[in-house]
Amino acid sequence: MSICYGNHQLVFVSPPKPPKFSNHRKSLLRVQFGDAVKWDSSHFSYSFSSHKPIWGHGYLVRAASAASSGPLSGSGAEYSEQLQGTQPKEKTKRIAGIDQEEIDDPTLLADSDSCFCEFNGVQIHHKISDAELSALDTIKEGLALQSTNYPKRVHYPMILLHGFGASVFSWNRVMKPLAQVSGSKVLAFDRPAFGLTSRVDAVKHPSPNNQDTCPFNPYSMMFAVLATLYFIDFLATQKAILVGHSAGALVAVDTYFEAPERIAALILVAPAILAPFTKQNVVKQNQARINNQVQNSSDSNTRWNLFSRLSSMLAKFTKYIAEAIVNMVTGMADMINSLYKKALSAILRSAFGLMLIRMIIDKFGIAAVRNAWYDSSQVSDHVLQGYTKPLKVKGWDKALVEYTIAMLTDSASKLKQPLPKRLHEISCPVLIVTGDTDRLVPSWNAERLSRAIPGSCFEIIKNCGHLPQEEKPEEFLSIVDKFLQRVFGAAEEPRLQAVST
């Protein structure tokens, strides 16, 4: 604690709690500074810097000259507020190196080419690249092209679906070139809980139709699917090519099964979809031989017919008992599973759950981005800022909790056959691209996924991690270009380079 009078400073070695100066205590603090013997409150200032107040009244004091310091400023009222113990403003908290500004309106963080539209009460952030405008921008940016002729190569626009923890930003290096490759519009949007799409209350959010009493969860997979179909209509087209990265690939495939007639092709980049395990077929000849042996043995022992009938009746009775036990156990398991999910949801929505989410993002968020690259030294500050900027939006932690709960308690998926068992039903053209050093989704899973989808193409990029469209954009664009040529019969066109950042 220090007290200044004019050009002199009185320093307390053990600072006390800021005292309140009353008239009868001013005389106790009266100190003679040099020739100054008159009390003048206008020359009196006070500062307090210790967080450990001492309640005693015995202070060690030393006087220090402040002749070299500049003149004091401020009114007596300001000094009075300081003397009454006004606390300094707390520093803004930081998560993953980002100040938690708690911005209510995500549009304040939008880029110049950002767009927003409302879908079922959610303001969805998206960007659109047009083929002609993208070509002009590419020329202005000085990218190498062999020709300036851009006929319409594909009759379908593209919709880009980002992965977990990502946003529209993850497509910024390939979005404009993809518009030129396809000759159509390319649209990318932020799914709820990510990017600059508005954060809404999942419990109070209205359902898509007012007659439905059950609220419509904006963080569910079904919402993402319906939002994708909405943007297909938004682009005024009957079909679109879906490009899904990581968890976005799951959205793309689910959208296909929801409306296969609206999907022209699927491009799955490092798809976070568990591929089915292949099972070896049983040798039918050996099985038939065993059945024949059993039948011949039964025919040769006709004296055991009565015993066989009794055994058959006992087997049927045992089967009924076993089915009853299985149903009972299954019901108990479903009940326990339901209680477990409710308990887990309550924990995640609690203050402890929010604190846990914030701690995980703070400690591992940036490390996860670097780990997604084959060469983490190539991750620039621009990339890190692009991934962490949404952390400035108010409620990002609650939205991430609701997204996690929606993925764990998705009731719509229970009504459908498991996705790995339906992959063989996909009939549209499919391209699967992955990096050979993907630490998040192994490349062998992507290869096995390509074998489960009939007629799919599989491409692997060397020295590449989980983000081919960011780490190896030129190779990624070349693979997509060749795929479109093969599928849609497009003629050879000028090769494009990725947008430099």
Question: Could you give the CA distance from residue 12 to residue 360 in angstroms, rounded to a whole number?
Answer: 43
Looking at mean pLDDT, say which of 84-98, 181-195, 276-290, 308-322 comes out highest.
Answer: 181-195
Where are the extended beta strands (E) located within 334-451? 430-435
Q: Which residue, chain included where needed, has tokens 């690939």?
A: 249
Q: DSSP letter string over 433-450?
A: EEETT-SSS-HHHHHHHH
Q: What CATH number does residue 141 fall under?
A: 3.40.50.1820
The partner residues of 430 in beta bridges, in order of sequence, read: 266
Indicate the DSSP class of residue 43: G
37 occurs within a structural domain = yes
Q: What is the pLDDT of residues 352-384, one digit of tens each?
A: 888 888 899 888 889 999 999 999 999 999 999
Residues 175, 48 share a domain: no
Residues 255, 139 share a domain: yes
Question: Could you give the CA distance from residue 475 to residue 416 in angstroms, rounded to a whole number?
Answer: 37
Q: pTM of the entire structure?
A: 0.68
If pLDDT is split at 50, 70 and 90, which confidence band does 49 have? very low
273 occurs within a structural domain = yes
Q: Which residue, chain included where needed, has tokens 């229970």?
A: 414
9 occurs within a structural domain = yes
Mean pLDDT, to the nearest integer, of 320-342? 62
254 occurs within a structural domain = yes
CA-closest candidate to residue 246, choices 267, 225, 222: 267
Residue 487, class by beta-carbon neighbours within 10 Å (0-12 exposed, 13-18 middle, 19+ buried)?
Answer: middle
Residues 397, 451 share a domain: yes
- Structural domain containing residue 76: 2-83
203 occurs within a structural domain = yes
Domain count, the chain: 2
Query: In 10 A of CB 449, how many CB atoms?
Result: 25
Q: DSSP letter string over 117-145?
A: EEETTEEEEEEEE-HHHHHHHHHHTT---
Query: In 10 A of CB 239, how many CB atoms?
Result: 16
Question: What tokens were used for 462?
Answer: 């060397």
- Predicted confidence at residue 154, as pLDDT, reads 77
Contact 396, 422 (CB under 8 A): no
Question: Could you give the CA distance from residue 436 to residue 472 in angstroms, rounded to a whole number?
Answer: 12
If pLDDT is split at 50, 70 and 90, which confidence band does 28 have? very low
If pLDDT is split at 50, 70 and 90, which confidence band does 101 have? low
Residues 239, 134 share a domain: yes
Query: In 10 A of CB 236, how many CB atoms?
Result: 8
